[in-house]
Amino acid sequence: MVTFAQFWSRLKSEFSHAPSPRPGVHVISVKKWSQFSDGMSGRFSVIYQGGNVLHGDTAGTNNWRNISEAEFRKV
């Protein structure tokens, strides 16, 4: 099993290869998931700008929210 530290490091590394609409900003589309369900229909966009916070669009709204490393660790 991969440790969370390894997962988090790999995730941030993958973002470095993702499309970049402007320098230092990387965007990927991922399958929807939640703390309670790993398989939901649809996809959502995630933006990475460095550090330990991702920015994701929220289901059912037009709002973006910060998704911290701690929140990912819970899932």
Number of domains into which the chain is organized:
1
pTM beyond 0.75, yes or no: no
pLDDT digits 0-9 by tens, 32-41? 776 676 667 8
Cα distance between residue 61 and residue 69, in whole Å: 22
pLDDT digits 0-9 by tens, 7-42? 899 988 988 888 898 999 999 888 877 667 666 788
Name the residue range of residue 25's domain: 4-74
